[in-house]
Amino acid sequence: MTDRSIHTGNTIRRIIEAAGNWLGDSRSFSSPVIEFSGKCRTGRFYLLITRVNSKNLHLQEIVTAEDGENRIFRNWTFKKEGEWQVLSLEKNGKHIILINLIEELAELNARIDSIFRKVNNSNLYFEEEYITSEYDESLERMAAAKGPVRRFFSGIYHEVALHPAVFVPVFSLAVIFMAIFVSSYFLQVNKIQKGLDSTVNEYLLQIKGQIKNLDDFMVNAGGDLEVLKEDLERSKADFDFNKHNAYANVMRLSEELTKYLPARKEAYKLIASNIKDAVSYGEIIYEMAQLPSEEYQARIFLATEEQRVMPLSRYIPVFTDMVYPVMVTGLDNDGRGFRITDGFMEKREDPLGSGGVAPHFAVDIINVSNIDFISYAGEIIREGMPDGDVSAAHDGVVKSVVQDDPRYGCLIEIEHPLTEEVKKMYPDADSWSTAYAHLKVDPFVEVGQWVNASDPIGLIGNTGHSTGPHLHFEVRIYRDGGDYADEIGTRYEKINPFPPEKKK
């Protein structure tokens, strides 16, 4: 291992230790605003730290430039694989090659050092205190460890190096200390050996006592369950607290944007609103990853069809008795944790890159509830069940199951009863159905099977012509003269499953 890699590893460990010290039991931490000044630059900065889980840490350096605008200067993702390491790094929106980390880590280390020297370990969310520190641009000094224990032993080392004569008495004292320690150790071993028999007997008596107390334990089980319930409620309170912090941070960033950046200001407010409605850390991570860093990106974000920037839970299905076609087993079917990525539209560019334009009379839905983190390349890394469940949107009979459709991959169609509501909206309708495409192979249902609304029928997959795991969902109205035809030639139309006018 080279000196450079050792130097980098020590710096990473110190950064992780400082982050863990500030986070404590929380999932996120926001430092106070720190003012810095130096020969080449001046300004303010603060850190946003998010613990995704025990092996993933996300850190953002927010720098306020002289024009008053906040920018994400660096975006770090740390992952623990044996030792902590940098999984990805973006600087000013550009990816940094990981072999060139030492200078970037040194500067981050210096900023953490500025905070560590000036504040205590209390929660400092939203404290608008400003602390002035001198910005030292020496990379060696910035990368050096600053812990009090390490400073103490470093001082002893340098004192001995400068005064070799001190070494002899120091070494003699060390030998005496070691002799005392060894003698004490053997006396302790002898004492342990003598007490071993009595300890074993006491242990057996304790086991017998525990068996006798089994009935009492069962009686107290109810109390233990109450404690578990309280722990769950406390976990929910922690999530609500961290969600509020993320929401407040994004709103604060939007308020600090100048009037000359109206698109970014509006985009930040919309994302903050989505964070406020989130029910999982995965949703919060997904929303934070959408924050535009440039005005033109914000304009594209806001110009995209409305369904793409709002959670599925804010839309109501077209028919009263319909439910959402996606859910997570064990949770309510309320649309929470899912997002429409492509909505019902007249024209859409081919997502596979052919350059063509065609209508998209369906909606594409992804699961964002279990996102672990999102890489700099936009790749979604999940924890737990990878992609989510597909469920029946209405009571009905499975009409067809196709495992290898060239376009849709694994495709299921369910025919539903022709209700009075459907007849009123479409008087010439002969029947209606819902279709579910790109599922994983081997779905849970077969042709002719009756299913109830919210029953699982398969898993979200990536089969057929697909750019990533998602559900392609259609509502079909069968009637004469429809633009489409099924495998036996029956004509049908496709309607919007979630009309804009039914938005919550």
Greater model confidence, 280 or 390: 390
Higher pLDDT, 302 or 142: 302
> Which pLDDT belongs to residue 128?
33
Q: What is the pLDDT of residues 423-448, one digit of tens each?
A: 999 999 999 999 999 999 999 999 99
Domain residue ranges of the chain, discontinuous segments joined by +: 3-146, 195-303, 309-502
pLDDT of residue 475: 97
Please give the class, per CATH, of domain 309-502: mainly beta
Res. 399: pLDDT tops 80: yes
CB distance 76 to 59 below 8 Å: yes
Q: In this predicted model, which residue has the larger pLDDT, 27 or 68? A: 27
The highest-confidence range among 175-184, 217-226, 286-295, by mean pLDDT, is: 286-295
Q: How confident is the model at residue 368 (pLDDT cuts 50, 70, 90)?
A: confident
Residues in contact with 150: Cβ distance below 8 Å, sequence separation at least 6, in sequence order: none
* Token pair of 296 as six digits: 């033109």
Span of 45-59, 411-425, 438-452 with lowest mean pLDDT = 45-59
pLDDT at 369: 81
The rounded distance, in Å, linking the Cα atoms of 17 and 146 is: 12
Sign of the dihedral defined by the CA atoms of residues 111, 117, 119, 121, in that order: positive
Amino acid occupying residue 203: Y
| Strand 33-37, strand 130-134: pairing | parallel
Which pLDDT belongs to residue 199? 66
**Calpha distance 318→426 (Å, rounded):** 12
Residue 448 is predicted with a pLDDT of 96
Mean pLDDT for 365-372 is: 83
Q: Choose among 146, 65, 74, 136: nearest CA to 105.
A: 74
Per-residue confidence at 237, pLDDT binned at 50, 70, 90?
Answer: confident
Least confident stretch, 15-24, 36-45, 148-157: 148-157
Per cent of the chain over pLDDT 70 is 70
How high is the pLDDT of residue 352? 47
Strand partners, 51: 57
What per-residue confidence (pLDDT) applies to 428?
94
Q: Which pLDDT score is estimated for 390?
A: 96
Q: Which helix (H) or strand (E) holds 140?
A: helix 139-143
Q: Output the pLDDT for position 225.
A: 62
pLDDT tens string 119-147: 654 443 333 333 333 333 433 343 333 45
* 183-197, 212-226, 291-305, 419-433, range with greatest mean pLDDT: 419-433
What is the amino acid identity at position 308?
R
Q: How would residue 317 be classed by pLDDT, with cut points 50, 70 and 90?
A: very high
- 14-28, 183-197, 363-377, 385-399: segment of lowest average pLDDT: 183-197
Tokens for 221?
Answer: 């089980």
* pLDDT classification of 504: cutoffs 50, 70, 90: confident
Nearest to 474 by CA among 493, 459, 456, 447: 493
Instruction: Work out the mean pLDDT of the chain and round it to a whole number.
Output: 77
- pLDDT tens digits, 66-81: 666 667 778 888 888 8
- The position carrying tokens 């279709």 is 435
- Cα distance between residue 330 and residue 490, in whole Å: 37
